[in-house]
Amino acid sequence: MFRRGNKTSKPWNVSLNPQVPVLVTFLIIILVVFLWWFHDNGEKSSSSFGIKMQKWNSFESLVQFNQTVEFRNGTDVIWQIPNSPKAVLFLAHGCDGRAANFWDRSANCPNCVGLPEERLIVLHALARNFAVLTVSSAGRCWSFGKEKLIVKGIIKWWVEKYKFEKIPLVALGASSGGYFVSLLATNLRFSSITIMIAEGMFDQMDITKKYPPTLFVHMPKDEARKQRIDENLEVLKEKGIDVADIKCMEFPLSPTFLADRIPGLGQSISEKLFDLFHDKGFIDKNGYMRNDGRAIRWKAGLRERGMHLPDGHLAHHIQEELNLAFAYHEMTSLQSEKIFDWFESHMS
């Protein structure tokens, strides 16, 4: 316990007492600044510099996958409906994708894949009471003729089947799916759309004021695409259409990043992969990817070290997350809160 001086205390004790509160205050300020700096940097490393980095199981207490699968008009149709849905979300995958990528494997869907970004978008949607509908393209990428009419028919059939005509219909498409959604919006009445890592097909359409509010989610590292998106933002604004964009930036990997994002990939494997990426020079000293997962030979590095993934299919999941961290061209769920805020702001 701190003891106060008394009349018999030595003079030097008395002379130092006024400085003690000043010194203590100074030390407290330093400590607070240090803790703030440490916490802020810790948040940045785990939240992608202001973007909430959700773990793969973040929604377990809110929603579970319980999808329905049907083969219709020559393609896979997969959906899930929460209690009292407020809107319908149509999702369009990119090239080499399919509807099964958005859903975890289950007894209802043994061929479902559950890629990390796609599944988190669906979980975000279900948690916010959006019914979710996904369709597979007929070919490797979406085509823009007859397929547009087929998908329009599937969506209308499904909406009528569940009597969702009176709730808003929105859409999100990535890459090839983004081009497809931009065109589909001229044939279906969406309350708003999101075009991800694509500039849309606006140079091939007659845009009117009835075109839906459009949000572009893109990665500015792709400078050519960014320029085209900037041009389309101006074109749509001039037409009187509500538009906005979200820029997705690169972020550093951490030893636990892959385990946090990918179901079935444990922390031990995640840490070993991080060490491999560091040793091979795939990441720099700060953890940033030097290239995306498509361009680095990380799978060969695994074989050289005699490392094995718990499931061979996880290689696709890992590559997607490496692409995401590099932030050039990849589906992303990191901006889901802003995306669904955009949808909800245009539903009245």
Per-residue pLDDT of the chain in tens (348 residues, 90 and over written 9) = 323 333 333 333 334 455 545 555 555 555 544 444 433 333 333 333 456 789 999 999 999 999 999 999 999 999 999 999 999 999 999 999 999 999 999 999 999 999 999 999 999 999 999 999 999 999 999 999 999 999 999 999 999 999 999 999 999 999 999 999 999 999 999 999 999 999 999 999 999 999 999 999 999 999 999 999 999 999 999 999 999 999 999 999 999 999 999 999 999 999 999 999 999 999 999 999 999 999 999 999 999 999 999 998 999 999 999 999 999 999 999 999 999 999 999 997
- Hey, which residues does 77 pair with through a beta bridge? 70, 135
Question: What does the alpha-carbon distance between residue 44 and residue 252 come to, in Å, rounded to a whole number?
Answer: 10
Starting at the earlier edge strand, list the strands of the sheet with 87-92. 68-72, 75-80, 130-135, 87-92, 169-174, 192-196, 214-218, 243-247
Q: Which of 249, 248, 272 is nearest to 259 (CA)?
A: 272
| pTM for this entry | 0.86
Return all residues near 47 (Cβ < 8 A) that are at least 6 apart.
Answer: 53
Is 261:273 a contact under the CB 8 Å cutoff?
no
Pairing of β 68-72 and β 75-80: antiparallel
Q: Which of 185, 223, 202 is nearest to 90 (CA)?
A: 185
68-249+331-345 maps to CATH 1.20.1250.20: no
Name the residue ranges covered by the structural domains of the chain.
68-249+331-345, 257-326
| φ/ψ of residue 216, rounded to 5 | -100, 125
* pLDDT value of position 91: 98
* Helix 116-127 / helix 314-326 crossing angle, nearest 10 deg: 80
Question: What does the alpha-carbon distance between residue 239 and residue 208 come to, in Å, rounded to a whole number?
Answer: 7
Consecutive H or E run containing 193:
strand 192-196
- Hey, which residues does 192 pair with through a beta bridge? 170
Question: What does the alpha-carbon distance between residue 76 and residue 74 come to, in Å, rounded to a whole number?
Answer: 7
Return all residues near 172 (Cβ < 8 A) that are at least 6 apart.
Answer: 89, 90, 91, 92, 121, 181, 193, 194, 196, 339
* pLDDT value of position 41: 36
The tokens for 294 are 């498509």
* pLDDT value of position 295: 94
CA angle, 324 then 194 then 217, to 5°:
35
Consecutive H or E run containing 135:
strand 130-135
| φ/ψ of residue 82, rounded to 5 | -80, 175
Is 134:173 a contact under the CB 8 Å cutoff?
no
Is 193:174 a contact under the CB 8 Å cutoff?
no
* pLDDT value of position 201: 97
Question: What does the alpha-carbon distance between residue 117 and residue 330 come to, in Å, rounded to a whole number?
Answer: 9
* pLDDT value of position 190: 98
Q: What is the pLDDT of residues 178-218, one digit of tens each?
A: 999 999 999 999 999 999 999 999 999 999 999 999 999 99
Is 213:192 a contact under the CB 8 Å cutoff?
yes
The tokens for 276 are 């491999």
| φ/ψ of residue 232, rounded to 5 | -70, -30
* pLDDT value of position 10: 34
